[in-house]
Amino acid sequence: MKAVIAILVVVILGVGVWYFMQNSAAPAAETPPAAAPTPTPSAGTEQTPPAQTPPTAPPPAAQGTVKEFTVTGTNFEFSPKEMRVKRGDRVRVTFVSAGGMHDWVLEEFNAATQQLAAGERETVEFVASKTGTFEYYCSVGAHRQMGMTGNLIVSE
């Protein structure tokens, strides 16, 4: 009798963990930001376009090259776990969610995908404008705390 109760408890716990994992991966509803009002010129006023100054240096993207990566997200893991680029490189990351709900976030360069279901993909692009080691992670549930992280290393 005790064995039957123990097996029943284990099965109920297993179902509970599975249910929690499925529900924690559901994306939160997003509210789009409110649009700022556009000022309209009053009658009788003349608008002149702002004076444009010639650029003194090309933008950082023009100096570097485009580095492309495909990052795959599975259960609590990214592949690759490390990407290396040079400062000024344009970085293009195609994120593929290979199992469950996942996203890819790199705060220091304001780069992130939406939360994606298994089989979905999204591409983000940014300029690696500063050097250092920067952590990218999955922001779904506790995935980051469970080790779903990687590093972007930007060198001179």
| Percent share of the chain, pLDDT over 90 | 56
Question: Average pLDDT, stretch 62-82?
Answer: 88
What is the band of 31 on the pLDDT scale with cuts at 50, 70, 90?
A: very low
User: Residue 37 pLDDT more than 60?
Assistant: no
User: What pTM was computed for the model?
Assistant: 0.60
Per-residue model confidence (pLDDT) at position 65: 87
Q: What is the pLDDT of residue 7?
A: 82
SS3 letters across the chain: CHHHHHHHHHHHHHHHHHHHHHHHCCCCCCCCCCCCCCCCCCCCCCCCCCCCCCCCCCCHHHHCCEEEEEEEEECCEEECCEEEEECCCEEEEEEEECCCCECCEEHHHCEECCCECCCCEEEEEEECCCCEEEEEECCCCCCCCCCCEEEEEEEC
Judged against a pLDDT cut of 80, whether residue 60 lies above it is answered with no
* C-alpha pair distances (Å), 151 with each of 15, 39, 79, 81, 92: 34, 43, 11, 6, 15
Given a cut of 80, whether residue 107 has pLDDT beyond it is: yes
Average pLDDT over residues 77-97: 95
Which domains, from first to last, does the chain contain? 62-155 (2.60.40.420)
Question: Which residue did the predictor score with more confidence, 68 or 58?
Answer: 68
Please tell me the predicted confidence (pLDDT) of residue 88: 94
Query: Average pLDDT, stretch 92-107?
Result: 94
Q: Are strands 111-112 and 105-106 parallel, antiparallel or unpaired?
A: antiparallel
- Check residue 29 and give its pLDDT: 43
Closest to 92 measured CA to CA, from 66, 115, 130, 110? 66
